[in-house]
Each structure stands twice: as C-alpha cells, then as structure tokens.
Structure 1
Amino acid sequence: MTQLQFTLDMEDLKEMVMSSNMEAVVRSSIVLILNEYMEKERDAYMQADHYERSGERQDYRNGYYERAYTLNIGKVELRVPRTRSGEFSPTIFEKYARMDQAFMISMLEMVIHGVSTRKVTHIVEQLCGERVSKSFVSSLTEKLDPIVNAWADRPLNTVYYPYVFADAMYTKVREHHKVVSKAIYIMTAIREDGRREILGLHVDHSESFESWFTCFEKLKSRGLQSPKLIISDAHQGLQKAIQRAFIGTSWQRCNVHFKRNILDRAPKKEAHEFRRMVKRIFEAVTIEDTRQFKQECMEKFADQPKYDKALQLLDEGFDDTIQYMTEPEHIRIHIRSTNSLERLNQEVRRRERVIRVFPNTQSAFRLVGAVLMHYQETIYDKRQSLTK
C-alpha cells in the first residue's frame, strides 16, 4: 500500500481552536485531514507534480468539487480533487461507503422490527445530527424488494413437506386514494426432517377460492409436492382450493377453532358437563377412543334441543378434525391446529400495527416478507427438529 506523507496548515487549525467551540474544532480538523489526504492521493495517482513534464504522468488535475458527506459526527463538506479523465477516486469514500451501508442496514432493521419511519428519522437525527425524511426511509426499504422477492420465489423441490399450514390475516393498504383491506396469505410447513419452514406469502384483495388456488399453484410451480395434510380453518374457499390443487392431500381442520365453534353453539349456562366431554374427545390418545368419546357425547345430549346446533357441528366436522390421529403420535400435537401459524401472524401483526396503513400493496408484501424472513432465521432455524 502506498504511504502518503502530508502536513496540515497549523495556522488555520490554530485559528479554529481559538475562535470556535470544540465541536466545530473537531469537525473542521476532520475536514482538513480528509481534504489533505485526498490531495496527496491525487498527487500519488498522477505520478507528477504540478506543471511537471514527466513520461510517468497518469492524468491531469482538473480542480475540485464540493461534496457533502455524513459521518458519525454529522454532515461535513469536503473539497474533493478530480482529474481530467475522471478515473481518480479517493479511497476514503470506499471506507465510508461501507459505514454508510451498515448504517442503512441498521435503519432497515429498525423498520423490520416495527419502528415507524417517523421514529427512524428521529433516531437518525439524534445519532448523526442529520435529519432524513420519511420518504427517504420509505425509499430505502425498497432495497429489500429483490431480497424478499428472491426468498418468496425460492425452489421448494429440495425437501418434502408432509404438513402444510395455511392462514390469512388482513391489513390496511392505501389504493387509489382510499384505504382498503387486503388479505395476506401466509403458509408454513413441517419438513420431512421435522423442522419448521415458512414457505411464502401472497397479498390479494380478499380471502377467496381463487386467491387460495393461486397461492397453492404458486407453491407447486416452485416445486412443492402434494403434502399429506394441509391444516387450516374451515374457510370454504380454502377447502375447495386444497381439493382442486392437491390430489390425494387430506384437509385437517384446526382442532382449536373447531372446539371453539362447537362450544360457542352450546348454551352459556349449565353446560359444564358438555364442555368437559367435548374436550375429552380431542384429548384421547387413540383414534378408537376419540370416536367412542364422540359417540358418548352425542348420545348423552341427543334429547336436549338446546344442544342440537353444537351436536350437529360436532357430527359434521368430526372426521375432518381428527385427520391428525392417523399420523405418528409424536407429531400429532404439532399438526392438530394452526396455533403455530397464528403465533407467527401475531408477530407479523405486532410489526404491521406500527405502520397502520401501508402506502401500497408492494410495501405490505415487502415488510411482511422481511418479518417472515427474520422470524425464520431467528426462531425456526434455531429450533431443534420436532422429531427429536
């Protein structure tokens, strides 16, 4: 590496010390050092002094230009030397470009972790003495687009996913000068080796058969093979989409949602025995006991009209809700409900609530995708396999 020797104009520095406060002295000193360093770098690059005729000359000096630069002490104005060819570039910008990049990543991390753009601008101002606009922070987050898009489109044909979870949540998006609700579809899975993985997401106008079918077709185009079970709530469009997209795949109705729906249809008072018997059905260890407990419950309350709606729902949805009982015992607790996916949705909601209203659909996709990627890396990837 070339060693550069240079001296500073001590008279200028002395004047600054005598007439300025220490903050101004520090900033001015740094400007003097950086300007002198860049000047000497250009001299070394030129391989010729001013007006010197030399066969080793690389280029010709071409004055200076002013450049504002933000450091950890705030913004400074530098006098950057340039050459006629334009090929010379001071090395200090390479160093501080890396610092800038780290700073930008930090701002992105704040946004992903649920810090509003307004708060991010305030934090930057406190750290650097330099205010950035909310629009700048918003435009900065667009740098996430290729990263999130690549993650959302990654191949799924390298491993088998026997159990897939599907659910949708709603968020507010500004569209054509109006605030509308958009459905965010999130799909996760348990791999054949027992590890959890977030498969992807999709944003659409509403939760419907067409939208769910589009989601599943997208997963298939990325290489997803037909799973054994798809676990979800009882949305009719979702059920139809599963039947259409995955031949031979069974639908597991969320155990928790199903029990809640049954108990909601039961009387609010004097139903302790009914509630106990319903819970016992889904706590059974064998599928034979599950069926027996269900039959006992049906027979015990069959002659009480106030339980008719609850018993009808129990009878109609029972088989779809015990699909998990045909799977190995160690995995049943993990696939009988969508609780794991709902916990993930809550984490997304916690970050999304800070935004309140997304400026457009792409921004919703970007932030939710970034949150899901972060959750995968920090939570799912660090957990042990469910088979262990």
Structure 2
Amino acid sequence: MSNLSKELLREYIQEQKFTSSTDILDALKDMFRDVLQESLEAEMDEALGYGKYDSTEKTSPNSRNGHSKKTIKTELGPIGINIPRDRNGDFEPKIVPKHQRTVDGIDDKILALYATGMTTRDISEQIKGLYSVDVSAETVSNITNRILPLVSDWQNRPLERAYSFVFMDAIHYKVREDKQVVIKAAYVVIGVNLDGEKEVLGVWIGANESSKFWLSVLNDLKNRGVEDVLIFCVDGLAGFKISITWR
C-alpha cells in the first residue's frame, strides 16, 4: 500500500473536490440501489399477498417470475436495479413506476435511512417520503423490516485500520415530527484508504456539532477498527478539534 505525503494528500483533496455534496452522494450509489431494491421487493410481497419465502401464506394464483433489469437516472448517475416480475404481468411498481427512467429528489432521504440515531419510526417516516403516491401502512412496515437489518449491518461493519484522510460534511433533509416538517442534518463521514479508494465510513444524526457528539462519532470509528487517520478535513465543524484528542 502506498503511504501518501501530507502535501500530496492536500493536492489530491483540492483536485478531487471531496467536500462537494455531489461527490459525497456519488459515494452512496450502492446504498441508494439497496433501498430501492428492497422497496420493490416489499411492493411485490404486498401485491401477491405473501413473501418470497412464505409460500405457505399464498392465496393468489399469481406468483413471482424473476426480474427484469432496468437502468435509472439519478442525481448520483445511472444506477442498475432489478424490477420484480409476476406471471400475470399485473405488478405495477410505485417507487420506480413502469416507463419511468428518472428518479430525482430522494437522495437525501435515502442517505438519512443509514444514519446512526434514526429510530424505527424515523425510518418509517423517511420511507413514506420516498414515494410520490400514497402507500399502505403494510407496505411501509414491510419495507422498514427489510431495511433495518441492511442498515444495522452497514452501520456495524468493520473498517480498515488506517485512512490517508477522512472528510466530513452535512447533508440536510426533511422529516416529519409531531405533524410538522423539520429539517435535520445528517453528518457524512467519508474516508480514503491508503490505496486511494474512497469509502463512506458512516452517517450520523446530530442535534448540534458539539465536541461530545463528535467524540461519539470518533469512538464509533475506533470501535470498528480505525486506528489512524493522517489528515482530517472537516470544513471548520464546531467541536471537532476538541474531540480529535481521541487519537
């Protein structure tokens, strides 16, 4: 593995513009795809009246018939997904309707689903916000149940021991609380390893940018295996310099 000098790292940061929101979202393509895929599968479960592996509950003569590949345009760029099919050809997906090739305006909502600090209720509300049409409580519940293990595994996955540099930024999103729409910040932490590969290390929901909040973030990274970071790029986030003594 190559160990870049701090001077080269600074040049690399400037060239790649890692602090731009576009680049941050670009690192989240897989997360975006997984949420859409699980939502589509849950929609099919409801349409047929039983889950993929729950054939004992089957009451409809209709059944699954594989998937068809579809590439959609998003703010992150093109993303390939697999649309579930049924034998009767009756299934009408809602999150990515038939003949629709563009999905816009839900990137931040999907990002928030992966954030540490989101409750199950928060996640359910965010899932509702992904749809431009009304969806049943059962569908929302099914999608939530599919996504929770996915999110938990992602949040707790082990990280590399060392990163050349780590940068942080905030993405704001809307969520409904007590019948009101409020704006929250999801703090995205992205690391570049010693081979120059970029990885989203985590996403956290924080009411403020206090040193206590950032200490909890850094402790989480440390508990998942991170031992050393050569450079932190935090865009002047309040409280971070105090908490950096974790190293």
Q: Smaller-chain TM-score range?
A: 0.3 to 0.5
Which structure features the higher share of helix residues?
1
Q: Structure 1-normalised TM-score?
A: 0.32
